[in-house]
């Protein structure tokens, strides 16, 4: 009898002839997630197993596996022989001594001499004889003992299904570049695209020395949290201090944010093309702040000429975004009170509905290409 972890995949089962591609990516990601822990990962009949691990590492393994996109459920199981005596011995270790219970059985091996119902009856009867304070309740039991007879001649006995991350394996849907700020929204946006199978690298704009070093460290921590779901990521940081100073000196203050965002999009697209990303990802939500009105988004987006800009949060309200941030474990870091570059030279009344012709007129006062090249000279790369 051996303790194992069972991982069942999610949407992959919907794939047809190319299912193997998704299964291999999923298995690679599972191995990568647990590589720091001494264990073994293998695959049998559409299920994945973690074996040969120290029992003290069980909870740690589960926490890592729960962050692998593509996983539907995880179970801690006992693997044993398929005779009823062996199954009963395993079930006893999982059973409580009192309360209500039921037994659920499944036969992957259809040649097994007992049907699923007969297995449940036999095992349930033995548990009742062993634990006299137990009672059967097939509708609302306090716990369930589950038995799965597999095709390879072993039985898996387990109690619970632990919810996995769902979605598709990272690495099966291309690569995107996330504009990562220090706030709540952008890490959630990156998380959502990774859930659809996209590799996500990050680009962060900072305004040192107007923003302090803690603001940058906060973003690095957010990227680390995201990297737990994306099988690693690269974080690039770029200074836009000189750009903000130029805009502040030469342009109308109410257009500061829109002008800055146009620079950010230009820099992001050029960097994405250099690093092989196929789209930009932002945390914008329609109407949430002044720069995220449809006019503001249109003005910013108009400088992007070659790549799509994906905005997975565009229809979300703030509470929905916060709930997702909490669930992915980024909320406590996101709310740390360190300002990002968008707060530097922030006007009292930013333009809510900027007109593109006015934007272009103000932008003509700037050396756009020179400022962009200076920004690229400041780029730093951090691999996480």
Residue with token string 């996101």: 334
Examine residue 209 and say whether the peptide bond preceding it is cis (omega within 30 degrees of 0).
yes
> What's the mean per-residue pLDDT of the chain?
93
**Which of 132, 163, 194 is at the close of a domain?**
163
| Total H helices, total E strands in the chain | 13, 15
Q: Are strands 155-158 and 71-80 parallel, antiparallel or unpaired?
A: antiparallel
Asked whether residue 170 is assigned to any structural domain, the reply reads: no
Give me the CATH number covering residue 20.
Answer: 3.30.2130.30
Please tell me the predicted confidence (pLDDT) of residue 339: 64
Does one domain contain both 93 and 239?
Answer: no
Does one domain contain both 234 and 92?
Answer: no
Please tell me the predicted confidence (pLDDT) of residue 374: 96
Q: How far is CA 229 from CA 187, 238, 310, in A?
A: 11, 24, 19
Please tell me the predicted confidence (pLDDT) of residue 240: 94
Please tell me the predicted confidence (pLDDT) of residue 43: 92
Does one domain contain both 126 and 56?
Answer: yes
* Number of domains, the chain: 2
**Which of 110, 143, 163 is at the close of a domain?**
163
Please tell me the predicted confidence (pLDDT) of residue 384: 84
Please tell me the predicted confidence (pLDDT) of residue 279: 98
The pairs formed by 17-24 with CB atoms below 8 angstroms and a separation of 24 or more are 21/172, 22/70, 22/168, 22/169, 22/172
Q: Could you tell me which of 248, 246, 242, 252 has the C-alpha nearest to residue 359?
A: 252
Residue with token string 């820099």: 267
Does one domain contain both 245 and 308?
Answer: yes
Which residues of the chain, if any, have pLDDT below 50? none
> Which residues constitute the domain of residue 7?
2-163
Please tell me the predicted confidence (pLDDT) of residue 345: 64
Does one domain contain both 240 and 107?
Answer: no
**Which of 128, 163, 198 is at the close of a domain?**
163
Residue with token string 């992001």: 268
Please tell me the predicted confidence (pLDDT) of residue 297: 92
């Amino acid at each position: 009898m051996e303790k194992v972890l069972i991982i069942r995949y999610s949407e992959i089962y919907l794939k047809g002839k190319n299912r193997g591609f998704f299964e291999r990516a999923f298995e690679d990601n599972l191995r990568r997630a647990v590589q720091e822990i001494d264990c073994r990962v293998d695959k049998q009949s559409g299920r994945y197993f973690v074996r040969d691990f120290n029992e003290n590492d069980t909870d740690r393994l589960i926490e890592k596996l729960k962050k692998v996109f593509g996983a539907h459920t995880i179970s801690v199981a006992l693997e044993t022989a398929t005779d009823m005596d062996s199954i009963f011995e395993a079930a006893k270790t999982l059973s409580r001594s009192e309360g209500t219970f039921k037994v659920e059985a499944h036969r992957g091996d259809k040649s097994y001499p007992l049907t699923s119902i007969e297995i449940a009856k036999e095992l349930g009867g033995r548990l009742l004889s062993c634990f006299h304070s137990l009672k059967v309740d097939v509708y609302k039991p306090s716990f369930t003992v589950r038995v799965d007879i597999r095709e390879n001649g072993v039985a898996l006995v387990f109690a619970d299904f632990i919810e996995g991350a769902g979605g598709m394996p990272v690495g099966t849907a291309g690569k995107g570049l996330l504009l990562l700020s220090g706030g709540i929204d952008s890490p959630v946006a990156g998380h959502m695209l990774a859930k659809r199978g996209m590799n996500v690298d990050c680009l962060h704009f900072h305004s040192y020395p107007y923003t302090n070093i803690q603001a940058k460290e906060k973003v690095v921590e957010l990227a680390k949290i995201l990297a737990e779901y994306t099988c690693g990521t690269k974080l690039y940081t770029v200074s836009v201090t000189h750009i903000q100073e130029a805009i502040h000196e030469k342009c109308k203050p109410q257009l500061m944010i829109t002008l800055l965002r146009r620079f950010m999009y230009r820099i992001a697209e050029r960097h994405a093309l250099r690093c092989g990303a196929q789209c930009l990802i932002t945390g914008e939500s329609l109407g949430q702040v002044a720069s995220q009105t449809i006019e503001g988004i249109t003005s910013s987006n108009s400088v992007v000429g070659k790549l799509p800009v994906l905005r997975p949060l565009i229809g979300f309200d703030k509470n929905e975004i916060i709930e997702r941030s909490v669930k992915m474990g980024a909320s406590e870091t996101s709310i740390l009170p360190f300002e990002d570059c968008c707060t530097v030279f922030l006007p009292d009344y930013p333009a809510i509905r900027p007109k593109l012709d006015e934007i272009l007129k103000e932008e003509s006062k700037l050396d756009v290409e020179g400022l962009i090249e200076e920004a690229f000279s400041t780029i730093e790369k951090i691999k996480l």
